[in-house]
Amino acid sequence: MDAAFAILGIAVGFLVGLTGIGGGALMTPSLIFLGLEPLRAVGTDLLFVTATKIFGTAFHHRMGRVRYDLALRLLAGSIPAVILGGFLLRLIERDVLNDYLTLLLGIILMASATMSMAKKELNPPIRPRMYHLYILGFAVGLTVQFTSVGAGVIVGFALINLARISPSEVVGISIFYGLLLSLMSFVNYALISSVDYRVAGMLIPGSVLGVYAGTRISTKVEGDKLKKVINMLIAAVGLAILLNFIV
């Protein structure tokens, strides 16, 4: 089983480096499939995401692609969501949480895959305001708190379509914001002993190697086609989770 976690870290890191698709959408359901309870899978993935996004944030900071003003507004909206999430994690019974975390994960996987496959320019009839960032941050904060999935996709989709932020800046904002949000969310899971540090320790080194390898060959493959295949796979996993919950 240890080898399976090490291989998983390499595989997810490789796909992230190759396509840029967020690892949470791949990692959390994989950890559940490998036997971790949903709560522990989410907590472990939050630690994994925090560690891996440190490198991405450093890279985009050097390139000057992080809009810290927008990222910190998103984070300000997320702080109440993380506090509320921590309260709910302690209030709700563990078995109930595990059941409904799985349901929510299935919904978010399908939604995030759909957003990723949708056309970038939708031109919605909404004029963006700064307070929309706080609302977006709160919604994403709750989503990530209970699934570890969605920060990059949901924020990226909203910023490109509503705020008309350039794609290069969107990536930097999403990674830096995602780093801080996953760190805060991880603390809640650590406080209720729902993080498998041994598994995280096997995932992170392999992921770093995988990201490096994927990035190196990303210019030699048709990334757009591969992204569509991976997003279809994520949507299928989300559908399977929902069907399993219903049945």
pLDDT along the chain (247 residues), means of 10: 84 74 78 91 91 76 79 93 93 89 86 72 59 88 87 77 71 84 94 94 87 72 68 81 75
- For residues 158 and 136, the answer to whether their CB atoms sit within 8 Å is yes
Q: How far apart are CA 51 and CA 221, in angstroms?
A: 27
Cα dist from 203 to 7, 37, 38, whole Å: 8, 17, 17
Q: How far apart are CA 129 and CA 97, in angstroms?
A: 35
Q: How far apart are CA 39 and CA 89, in angstroms?
A: 9
User: What's residue 241's pLDDT?
Assistant: 81
User: What's residue 168's pLDDT?
Assistant: 67
- For residues 179 and 23, the answer to whether their CB atoms sit within 8 Å is no
Q: How far apart are CA 154 and CA 80, in angstroms?
A: 18
Average of per-residue pLDDT values in the chain: 82
User: What's residue 80's pLDDT?
Assistant: 96
Q: How far apart are CA 103 and CA 100, in angstroms?
A: 5
- Which amino acid makes up residue 95? D
User: What's residue 127's pLDDT?
Assistant: 60
User: What's residue 126's pLDDT?
Assistant: 55
User: What's residue 47's pLDDT?
Assistant: 92
Per-residue pLDDT of 79-100, as tens digits, reads 999 999 999 999 999 998 888 8
